[in-house]
């Protein structure tokens, strides 16, 4: 197979950007063209700095995130990019000892206030929830697992709820499992594939013949490490910087990461980026296998190899529109739409914090999955370093992010509604203040949900890609390999579902705790604002997310000793269909999809993206890094 001469990457999210970057380095003589239908790159990454001021004259520049806000230092592909892009000096690292890393909460539907999740042996035994977790954990290795034989099967899989119910009991599976899934996928744990979404848990259960704890012990005794070798990555000094890190971001937010990646792609002499131009048709030459791409503006791009970093349903539509053979499982997984609500409160009097110190909270489902709010992140705790103040001792604002499941019939998210949610969730001792900033943005179909069978489906997808395209096509993205979403664990609170998935608020990130260093102040002693990000599931019939509603949520979740002040900034933005959900069977469907791609395209087409390989930043970048490896043989 000759080396690639012109590689076209369709999709300018993090998967596509990292693909273009690594391909330009791997094939320096080949031309690389990145095509993106929107006017900007980076996908769901969207950082914004807003100027806020309260009625007392306190002001600040608050850095807000509409999409992913933090990263974990366990993705070698991400750490490698930080080294290659020379982003070390712009890092904002949250150490493992920080409250934003250690303290996290749940808001149990039907109650007021937050429940702290255990972070130590002492705290594990101090609360009813902790004691229930300890008891279930002690029993877990003693259980028999008749279904353990399924774990080792090539197509074995089950939902996260089923997996946890077997090991911890249905009640803990409902509370803990649904809250975790709310924070990452904004989806139902009864659908989510544990093998695709949490492969480390699946691997431990395999090693322990069904038991997670037995699997941990087995790996300790065998000195097994599931982590990939760092020798395959150019990490430089980044691992040393991350040695004590729990999570990290950048002083100018996640957009700085995407912008540095875009800059590196642009500066390569053989790369080209075409924005604001949707791919209309793809044609495959039956003689030599080359691909011709026609955009809506009439531009024609001829390529020897193709990378799809599009959402899988979009790839399905493109193939159908192009009269090309379809690939399996491209539409198998549902996707979640999330309303991201950014709220900034004015500085509060000493001793009257709007929320407790921590990452944020998640909301588990109740008996039915009808929750709207998924959770809220206390951004000021972890990301307060992103904010700028006139002086170091300036009063600090509080920023939060609430995630709400976007339902088609849900009314618009209003500020009053969000304040009401926060009041219920935080249960403050004093009324919440009016925000100084409020925005609610819907992220449409932003998170793919890998449903049960996803791993097997992805194998079938890859086989299909190989049969149809050979090495000419690669399919990557969050829908293929994994997602990382807005993951508030450690610096805010998440809200698990109750018995059914009926939560609206998904969780809230205490941005100021981990990313307060992003904010600017007039002086180092200027009072600090508190920024938080609440995530609310966007329901079609839900009312608008109002500042008052968010304050009500925060009051309920945080149960503050004093009323929450009015925010100095509030925004609620809906992210329509922003998260593909890999439902049960996703792995198997992706396997069938790849098989179909191969049958129809051989190696001329590759399909990647959040709907294929995972929605986390690390998953997307890893797919971008791996794409095209077979082409250089």
| pLDDT band of 502, cuts 50, 70, 90 | very low
What average pLDDT is seen over the chain?
86
* Other CB atoms within 10 A of residue 97 CB: 9
| pLDDT band of 388, cuts 50, 70, 90 | very high
pLDDT of residue 494: 57
Tell whether 522 is covered by a domain.
no
Tell whether 50 is covered by a domain.
no
Tell whether 529 is covered by a domain.
no
Return the H-helix or E-strand segment holding 321: helix 312-321
Residue 531 clears pLDDT 50, i.e. is over it = yes
Residue 231 clears pLDDT 70, i.e. is over it = no
pLDDT of residue 486: 25
Say if CB 423 and CB 553 are below 8 A apart: yes
Tell whether 19 is covered by a domain.
yes
Tokens of 191: 């659908």
Residues 71-81 have pLDDT tens digits of 999 889 999 99
Taking the C-alpha atoms of residue 489 and residue 506, their distance in angstroms, rounded to an integer, is: 12
CA distances from 229 to 102, 205, 309, 624, 630 (A): 27, 22, 26, 18, 20
Residue 488 clears pLDDT 50, i.e. is over it = no
pLDDT of residue 89: 95
Tokens of 526: 């200027």
Which residue range(s) make up the domain with 19? 6-44+255-333+451-483+583-632
Once rounded to an integer, what is the mean pLDDT over residues 384-404? Answer: 95
Taking the C-alpha atoms of residue 37 and residue 134, their distance in angstroms, rounded to an integer, is: 50
User: Which CATH number does the domain housing residue 275 bear?
Assistant: 3.50.50.60
* Other CB atoms within 10 A of residue 144 CB: 9
* Other CB atoms within 10 A of residue 35 CB: 24
Once rounded to an integer, what is the mean pLDDT over residues 181-207? Answer: 86
Residue 57 clears pLDDT 80, i.e. is over it = yes
CA distances from 279 to 33, 217, 301 (A): 12, 51, 10
Tokens of 447: 């998170």
| pLDDT band of 344, cuts 50, 70, 90 | very high
Tell whether 156 is covered by a domain.
no
Say if CB 185 and CB 584 are below 8 A apart: no
Residue 213 clears pLDDT 60, i.e. is over it = yes
CA-nearest of 11, 620, 615, 1 to 310 is 11
Once rounded to an integer, what is the mean pLDDT over residues 538-548? Answer: 80
pLDDT of residue 429: 85
Residue 620 clears pLDDT 50, i.e. is over it = yes
- Encode 73-94: b = buried (16+ Cβ within 10 Å), e = exposed: bebbbbbbbbbbbebeebbbbb
Residue 625 clears pLDDT 80, i.e. is over it = yes
Taking the C-alpha atoms of residue 158 and residue 332, their distance in angstroms, rounded to an integer, is: 16
Tokens of 263: 């800059």
pLDDT of residue 630: 63
Residue 233 clears pLDDT 60, i.e. is over it = yes
pLDDT of residue 482: 66
Say if CB 106 and CB 362 are below 8 A apart: yes
Say if CB 346 and CB 566 are below 8 A apart: yes
CA-nearest of 364, 67, 370, 338 to 189 is 364
Tell whether 296 is covered by a domain.
yes
**Residue 281 or residue 553, greater confidence:** 281
Residue 485 clears pLDDT 50, i.e. is over it = no
Tokens of 528: 């600090």
Residue 225 clears pLDDT 50, i.e. is over it = no
pLDDT of residue 549: 82
CA-nearest of 534, 261, 513, 314 to 418 is 534
Question: Residue by residue, what is the 3-state secondary structure of 270-292?
Answer: CEEEECCCCEEEEEECCCCCCEE
CA distances from 18 to 21, 135, 475, 630 (A): 5, 44, 13, 17
pLDDT of residue 608: 87
Residues 349-384 have pLDDT tens digits of 988 999 999 999 999 876 544 458 899 999 999 899
Once rounded to an integer, what is the mean pLDDT over residues 255-269? Answer: 96
Region of residue 546 (phi > 0: left; psi between -120 and 50: alpha; otherwise: beta): beta
Region of residue 445 (phi > 0: left; psi between -120 and 50: alpha; otherwise: beta): left
Sign of CA dihedral 422, 424, 428, 430: positive
Residue 493 clears pLDDT 70, i.e. is over it = no
Once rounded to an integer, what is the mean pLDDT over residues 489-497? Answer: 49
Q: How many helices (H) and strands (E) does the chain have?
A: 23, 32
How many distinct structural domains can be found in the chain?
1
The region of weakest confidence among 188-202, 293-307, 423-437, 492-506 is: 492-506
pLDDT of residue 146: 63
Return the H-helix or E-strand segment holding 421: helix 415-426
Once rounded to an integer, what is the mean pLDDT over residues 336-341? Answer: 94
Once rounded to an integer, what is the mean pLDDT over residues 15-40? Answer: 95
Residue 210 clears pLDDT 90, i.e. is over it = no
Once rounded to an integer, what is the mean pLDDT over residues 247-270? Answer: 96
- Encode 436-462: b = buried (16+ Cβ within 10 Å), e = exposed: bbbbbbbbbbbbbbbbbbbbbbbbbbb
| pLDDT band of 566, cuts 50, 70, 90 | confident
**Residue 237 or residue 481, greater confidence:** 237
Say if CB 580 and CB 11 are below 8 A apart: no
Residue 575 clears pLDDT 90, i.e. is over it = no
Tell whether 265 is covered by a domain.
yes
Once rounded to an integer, what is the mean pLDDT over residues 446-457? Answer: 92
Residues 605-617 have pLDDT tens digits of 888 888 887 778 8
Sign of CA dihedral 85, 86, 91, 96: positive
Once rounded to an integer, what is the mean pLDDT over residues 282-311? Answer: 92
pLDDT of residue 506: 84
Tell whether 399 is covered by a domain.
no
CA distances from 94 to 86, 102, 555, 567 (A): 19, 10, 26, 25
pLDDT of residue 556: 76
Most confident of 129-133, 392-396, 599-603: 392-396
Tokens of 591: 């396997």
């Amino acid at each position: 197979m000759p080396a690639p001469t012109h590689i076209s990457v369709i999709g300018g999210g993090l998967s596509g950007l990292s693909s273009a970057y690594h391909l330009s380095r791997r094939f320096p003589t080949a031309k690389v063209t990145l095509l993106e239908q929107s006017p900007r790159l980076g996908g769901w990454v969207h950082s914004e700095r807003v100027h806020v001021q309260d009625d007392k004259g306190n002001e600040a520049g608050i850095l807000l995130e509409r999409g992913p806000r933090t990263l974990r230092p366990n993705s070698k592909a991400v750490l490698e990019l930080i080294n290659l892009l020379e982003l070390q000096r712009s890092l904002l690292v949250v150490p493992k000892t920080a409250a934003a890393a250690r303290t996290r909460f749940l808001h149990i539907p039907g109650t007021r206030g937050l429940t702290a999740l255990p972070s130590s042996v002492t705290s594990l035994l101090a609360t009813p929830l902790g004691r229930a977790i300890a008891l279930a954990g002690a029993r877990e290795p003693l259980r028999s697992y008749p279904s353990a034989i399924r774990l080792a099967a090539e197509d074995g899989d089950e939902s996260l709820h089923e997996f946890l119910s077997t090991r911890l009991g249905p009640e803990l599976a409902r509370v803990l499992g649904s809250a975790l899934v709310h924070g990452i996928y904004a989806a139902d744990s009864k659908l989510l594939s544990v093998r695709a979404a949490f492969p480390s848990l699946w691997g431990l259960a395999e090693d322990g013949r069904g038991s997670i704890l037995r699997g941990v012990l087995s790996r300790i005794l065998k000195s097994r490490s599931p982590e990939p070798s760092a020798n395959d990555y150019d990490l430089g000094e980044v691992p040393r910087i991350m040695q004590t890190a729990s999570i990290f971001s950048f002083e100018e937010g996640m957009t700085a990461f995407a912008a540095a990646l875009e800059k590196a792609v642009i500066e390569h002499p053989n790369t080209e980026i075409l924005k604001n131009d949707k791919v209309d048709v793809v044609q495959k030459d039956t003689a030599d296998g080359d691909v011709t791409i026609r955009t809506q503006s009439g531009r024609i791009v001829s390529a020897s190899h193709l990378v799809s970093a599009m959402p899988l349903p979009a790839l399905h539509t493109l193939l159908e529109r192009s009269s090309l053979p379809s690939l399996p499982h491209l539409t198998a997984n549902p996707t979640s739409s999330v309303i991201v609500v950014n709220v900034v409160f004015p500085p509060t009097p000493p001793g009257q914090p709007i929320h407790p110190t921590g990452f944020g909270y998640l909301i588990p489902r109740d008996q039915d999955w009808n929750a709207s709010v998924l959770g809220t992140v206390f951004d000021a705790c972890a990301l307060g370093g992103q904010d700028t103040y006139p002086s170091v001792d300036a009063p600090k604002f509080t920023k939060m992010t609430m995630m709400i499941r976007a339902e088609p019939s849900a009314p618009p998210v209003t500020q009053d509604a969000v304040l009401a949610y926060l009041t219920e969730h935080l249960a403050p001792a004093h009324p919440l203040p009016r925000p100084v900033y409020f925005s609610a943005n819907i992220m449409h179909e932003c998170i793919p949900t890998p449903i049960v069978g996803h791993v097997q489906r992805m194998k079938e997808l890859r086989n299909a890609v190989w049969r149809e395209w050979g090495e000419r096509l690669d399919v990557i993205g969050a829908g293929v390999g994994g997602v990382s979403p807005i993951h508030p664990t450690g610096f805010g609170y998440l809200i698990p579902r109750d018995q059914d998935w009926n939560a609206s608020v998904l969780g809230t990130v205490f941005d100021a705790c981990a990313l307060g260093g992003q904010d600017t102040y007039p002086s180092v002693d200027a009072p600090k604002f508190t920024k938080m990000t609440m995530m609310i599931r966007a329901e079609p019939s839900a009312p608008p997310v109002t500042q008052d509603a968010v304050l009500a949520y925060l009051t309920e979740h945080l149960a503050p000793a004093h009323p929450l002040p009015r925010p100095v900034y509030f925004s609620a933005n809906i992210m329509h269909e922003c998260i593909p959900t890999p439902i049960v069977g996703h792995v198997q469907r992706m396997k069938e999809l790849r098989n179909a791609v191969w049958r129809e395209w051989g190696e001329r087409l590759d399909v990647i993206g959040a709907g294929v390989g995972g929605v986390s930043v690390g998953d997307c970048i890893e797919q971008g890094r791996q794409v095209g490896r077979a082409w250089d043989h």
